[in-house]
């Protein structure tokens, strides 16, 4: 099947939509339908939810991966539109179908989405279950979901005020990001560690983290208001 990751730029959903539409024009069979599910996702990221649903409504779902992706993207659209309760059955259906079809990366993706729409009291357990599935997979794409899942788990702990547990999760997420090798996402993971350190009162360590990020951004001619905000807080 088509490798959709090569066409994605999540910072540019409109550009991504155009690439997926262009690729779908020349693709055939299930490959074309997979590409169209990503058109729907890109529309959702632009808050064009009705258009995204219309794309999914037009799919003739006769292939396992297409069925999984259609349910997954339907759930994402509903969650993004502010209806997590309506999203959950679609996401759970996607997770079950992906597991039964041996589509490990999509299985973990769907599980991670189920955790995001679950009630707060269930989120830690569901994130941990998804993380166990990711770590138990022989598919590297599924295993690489550990970085996002650990970050989300850290956020669950942070929301509960357990900053020690949050820091531990963010540090694991950082190690995963360094393994995967995405520089931008690794910087975000470092910021999360610094954020947790500040909230634990470990301000000197937090300042080292954020100052290093600031220096790297300055060298690259880039800015990040979140880094600047943390440094301002750490000056106080």
Tell me 63's DSSP state. S
pLDDT at 2 exceeding the cut of 90: no
Per-residue pLDDT tens over the stretch 126-171:
999 999 999 999 999 999 999 999 999 999 999 999 999 999 999 9
Local confidence band at 60 (pLDDT 50, 70, 90 cut-offs): confident
- The CATH label, of 1.10.150.120, 3.30.450.20, 1.25.40.10, 3.40.50.300, for the domain at 144-236 is 1.25.40.10
CATH number attached to the domain at 1-136: 1.25.40.10
Percent of the chain with pLDDT over 70: 99
Domain ranges across the chain: 1-136, 144-236
Q: How far apart are CA 75 and CA 52, in angstroms?
A: 11
The pLDDT value given to residue 61:
85
Of the candidates 74, 50, 46, which has an alpha carbon nearest to the alpha carbon of residue 61?
Answer: 74
Count of alpha carbons within 13 angstroms of residue 38, beta-carbon side: 27
Tell me if residue 62 falls in helix, strand or coil.
Answer: coil
Q: Decide if 1-136 and 144-236 have a common fold.
A: yes
Structure tokens at 180: 């995967």
Q: Would you say how long the chain is, in residues?
A: 236
Dihedrals φ, ψ of 148, to 5°? -65, -40
**Does residue 12 come out as left (phi exceeding 0), alpha (psi in the -120 to 50 range) or beta?**
beta
pLDDT at 154: 98
pLDDT at 151: 98
Sign of CA dihedral 189, 84, 128, 136: negative
pLDDT classification of 199: cutoffs 50, 70, 90: very high
Write out the H or E segment, with its range, that includes residue 189. helix 183-199
C-alpha to C-alpha distance for 132 and 137, rounded to whole angstroms: 9
pLDDT at residue 236 is higher than 80: no
What's the DSSP call for residue 87? H
CB 134 within 8 A of CB 99: no
Contact 27, 35 (CB under 8 A): yes
For 114-178, the DSSP string reads HHHHS-HHHHHHHHHHHHHHHHT-S-HHHHTTHHHHHHHHHHHHHHTT-HHHHHHHHHHHHHHHH
pLDDT in tens, 168-188: 999 999 999 999 999 999 999
Checking if the pLDDT of 6 tops 80, the result is yes
Average pLDDT score, the chain: 96
């Amino acid at each position: 099947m088509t490798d959709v990751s090569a066409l994605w730029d999540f910072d540019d959903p409109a550009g991504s939509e155009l690439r997926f539409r262009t690729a779908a024009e020349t693709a055939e069979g299930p490959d074309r339908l997979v590409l169209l599910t990503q058109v729907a996702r890109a529309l959702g990221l632009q808050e064009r939810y009705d258009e995204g649903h219309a794309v999914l409504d037009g799919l003739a779902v006769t292939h396992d991966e297409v069925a999984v992706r259609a349910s997954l993207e339907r759930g994402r659209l509903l969650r993004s539109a502010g209806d997590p309760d309506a999203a959950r059955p679609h996401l759970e259906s996607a997770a079950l179908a992906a597991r039964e079809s041996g589509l490990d990366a999509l299985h973990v993706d769907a599980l991670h989405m189920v955790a995001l729409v679950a009630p707060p009291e269930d989120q830690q357990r569901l994130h941990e279950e998804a993380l166990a599935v990711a770590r138990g997979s022989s598919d590297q794409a599924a295993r690489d979901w550990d970085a996002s899942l650990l970050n989300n788990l850290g956020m669950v702990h942070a929301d509960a005020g357990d900053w020690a547990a949050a820091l531990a999760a963010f540090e694991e997420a950082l190690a995963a990001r360094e393994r995967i090798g995405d520089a931008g996402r690794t910087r975000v993971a470092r910021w999360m560690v610094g954020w947790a350190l500040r909230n634990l009162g470990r301000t000197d360590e937090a300042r080292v983290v954020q100052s290093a990020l600031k220096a790297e951004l300055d060298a690259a001619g880039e800015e990040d208001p979140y880094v600047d905000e943390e440094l301002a807080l750490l000056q106080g």
